[in-house]
Structure 1
Amino acid sequence: MKQILITNDDGFDAIGLKALVEALSPIAKIVVVAPAKNKSACGHSLTLDKPLRMVHVDDDFYKIDDGTPTDCIFISLNNLFKEGYKPDLVISGINIGANMGEDVTYSGTAAGAMEAVLQGVPAIAISQVCKDRCQDIKNGWDFALAKDTISKLAKKILDNQFPLGERRFLNVNIPPIKKEDCKGIKITKAGYREYGNDTHRHHNPRGEEYYWIGLHPLIWQESENKDCDFEAVKANYISITPIMLDLTSYDDINKLNTWIKE
């Protein structure tokens, strides 16, 4: 039976992770290795300054104390599976909140997928975009569209092959709508988001300063490129963006060579 390794950045007890397990259990053997606590926006961070403890919770479910999604994937791929064997697919999510455009550089969800492809395993990052987070919490999250989407994508990959080359992963964003209102899937480019500079300075009882970073308001930039992730989700499409880890700006190499010689 095919195996899927799952992680996330919202923590081991996150409802998105539970929804992901429910969606994938009928099609593969599931192994879960996730951070014990919420590690949202931790990026592709690897813990090198302290030891990490992997706790066996139940069956094939594990959590790593103080670990990041990158830690979870790195440790599990190199220690949890038999030597010479790796899972058929890694899926990171279901994240609560969008991971579009520059979000990917902050995202622990995306980082879980990044680490997997660095280790040679196909990977998907999946996120549920929120319309009104407070209202969603009050009414209960609707993962029907996300679960249906990831189940079909995973089955397609397991039955055939991963559609991308090395060091590339799929970044999936689900619009905040009911399943029946979805217009379909769009293959997209990463868009652009303007982050707010909302930072609050406070003082603790000892008079020491501390800060809360809010990153709000988050503004989706209007784009003439209707093929970007933001535009697709806004139009009630599922966005699937192929992400590559090569960050080289190839268009600037010749320009830079000329500049450095001047």
Structure 2
Amino acid sequence: MKRILITNDDGFESLGLKALVEALRPLGHITVVAPTVEKSACGHSLTLTRPLRFVQIDDDFFKLDDGTPTDCVYLSKYALFSEECQPDLVVSGINKGANMGEDITYSGTASAAMEAVLQGIPGIAISQVCRSRCQNIDELGFELAKKAAYNICKKILEDGFPLGDRRFLNINVPPVQPKECKGFRVTKAGYRLYGNDAQLHRNPRGEEYYWLGLHPLQWIPDENRMCDFEAIKENYVSITPVKLDMTSYEDIDRLKEWKIEDEI
């Protein structure tokens, strides 16, 4: 039987996590290790300054006390699985909200998949896009995301992971019902547009504090409509292959020609 490790960044009580477990249970043995609390936008962070503890919620279901999604994958590999019996696949999600463009670098959801492939395990991240910050994810539901996750994971487990080393799949699901979805589209990560949504407030003592808000999903249009944002806009499930090698190869020769002193 195939072994699937599931995690997320919305916490162990997330409805998206529950939906993912339901979707993938027919495909193999499921182990869930998720953060105790929401860890959205924590990036690819490990916890190095305090101890971590597995708390068992149910059979093969654990919360990692104050851990990050990266912690969940890293520790699970060595604490819950033997060297001879490792997960065949790590699936992170179903995230509540989009993870497209450069948001991948912030995403705890995507970072769990990053850690999986760093540890030599195929990894995918799946996110449910919302039409707006006001759209209720509970009303939208996860039916389309569940179908997409099942089909993609089934393909991987039967035919093998389609990517090379240190590469993962980042999947975003449009905010529509299954009958409105046009299918799958392989995409590139788009160019996200960012602003400043830091909101200044004062507490009852008059002290200033800030809340960081959410930016609207805006991007630089892609002429070939092949980016993740365009696919979601057209009601396709976006599948983006992501590699962890962030070297800007096209700039190496330019830097070699850069006049810089040989001696420090």
Q: Does residue 234 of structure 2 align to residue 235 of structure 1?
A: yes
SS at 2:235's partner residue?
coil
SS at 2:27's partner residue?
coil
Cα distance, 1:207 vs structure 2: 3.3
Cα distance, 1:196 vs structure 2: 2.2
Corresponding residue for 1:27? 27
Q: How does 1:46-195 map to 2 (within 5 A)?
A: 46-137=46-137, 140-195=139-194
* Letter of the structure 2 residue corresponding to residue 23 of structure 1: A
Is 180-189 or 219-228 further displaced after alignment? 219-228
Corresponding residue for 1:216? 215
* Letter of the structure 1 residue corresponding to residue 23 of structure 2: A
Corresponding residue for 2:39? 39
Contact 1:54–1:64, Cα closer than 8 Å, also in 2 = yes
* Letter of the structure 1 residue corresponding to residue 193 of structure 2: E
The alignment of Structure 1 onto Structure 2 pairs a total of residues equal to 261
Contact 1:113–1:124, Cα closer than 8 Å, also in 2 = yes
SS at 1:24's partner residue?
helix
Normalising by structure 2, report the TM-score.
0.95
Cα distance, 1:133 vs structure 2: 4.1
Q: Following the alignment from structure 1 to structure 2, what is the Cα–Cα distance between the partners of residues 27 and 193?
A: 35
Contact 1:195–1:215, Cα closer than 8 Å, also in 2 = no
Contact 1:30–1:60, Cα closer than 8 Å, also in 2 = yes
CA displacement 1:40-73 (0-9 Å, x = unmatched): 1110011101011110111000001111100100
Cα distance, 1:222 vs structure 2: 2.0
SS at 2:134's partner residue?
helix
Q: Following the alignment from structure 2 to structure 1, what is the Cα–Cα distance between the partners of residues 96 and 113?
A: 16
CA displacement 1:113-141 (0-9 Å, x = unmatched): 0000000000100000101343324x623
CA displacement 1:138-169 (0-9 Å, x = unmatched): x6232111111111111111111100000000
Does the C-alpha gap of structure 1 residues 129 and 92 become closer, same or farther in structure 2, counting only changes over 3 Å? same
SS at 1:90's partner residue?
strand
Q: Percent identity?
A: 66
SS at 2:258's partner residue?
helix
Tell me, which stretches of 5 or more residues in structure 1 are unaligned?
none
CA displacement 1:175-234 (0-9 Å, x = unmatched): 111101111111101001112201112222333321111142442332223111111111
* Letter of the structure 2 residue corresponding to residue 58 of structure 1: D
SS at 1:189's partner residue?
coil
Tell me, which stretches of 5 or more residues in structure 2 are unaligned?
none
Corresponding residue for 2:252? 253
Q: Following the alignment from structure 2 to structure 1, what is the Cα–Cα distance between the partners of residues 33 and 207?
A: 37
SS at 1:117's partner residue?
helix
CA displacement 1:13-50 (0-9 Å, x = unmatched): 00100000000001111000000111111100111010
Q: Following the alignment from structure 2 to structure 1, what is the Cα–Cα distance between the partners of residues 193 and 43?
A: 18
Cα-Cα RMSD = 1.4
SS at 2:51's partner residue?
coil
Is 199-208 or 236-245 further displaced after alignment? 199-208
Cα distance, 1:259 vs structure 2: 1.0
Q: Following the alignment from structure 1 to structure 2, what is the Cα–Cα distance between the partners of residues 197 and 110?
A: 23
Corresponding residue for 2:13? 13
